[in-house]
Amino acid sequence: MTRVALIAHDDEKPEIIDLAQSYEDALSGFDLVGTGTTSKRIMEETDLTVERKESGPLGGDAQIGAEVAEDRIDGIVFLRDPLTAQPHEPDISALLRICDVHDVPLATTRTSAEFLLEGLIRDETDG
């Protein structure tokens, strides 16, 4: 089953929730994992089940990075705030590096997230 990670900086949480609502039917067929608060908010506002890792400041992004290294993640949506991210929010640098090393797509904007999800949906239906 396709496994997708969902992460969002605080200011981007409404956007990732809207994305999850827009793609809820397709995402319901995926195995979802996410950082603590993002996962909680998505589950509260959709019928999706998301495996909750620690919140970003407590290492949830590192836990997801470990899954990338173990070849357990097919794609990551990390909606980040490039201008006003707070010090307690997850840093994308290490996650981006591990994704590049293991050739796992990582989307950082709504538009790139839609392309990533559409590609995974297509792969799921073609496979």
* 36 in a known ligand binding site: yes
* 2 in a known ligand binding site: no
- Which of 61, 74, 81, 123 is catalytic? The answer is 61
Beta bridge partners of 71: none
| Distance separating alpha carbons of residues 96 and 22, to the nearest angstrom | 25
* 13 in a known ligand binding site: yes
* 40 in a known ligand binding site: no
* 102 in a known ligand binding site: no
Q: Which two tokens stand for residue 83?
A: 């201008």
3-state secondary structure of 68: helix
**Catalytic residue list contains 100:** no
Which residues, including other chains, have CB under 8 Å from residue 87's CB and lie 6 or more apart?
none
Decide if 100 contacts 31 (C-beta within 8 A). Answer: no
For residue 115, CA distances in Å to 11, 71, 96, 107, 120 come to: 21, 21, 17, 8, 9
For the annotated binding site, the residues are 9, 13, 35-38, 55-56, 88
For the annotated binding site for substrate, the residues are 9, 13, 35-38, 55-56, 88
Residues recognised as catalytic: 61
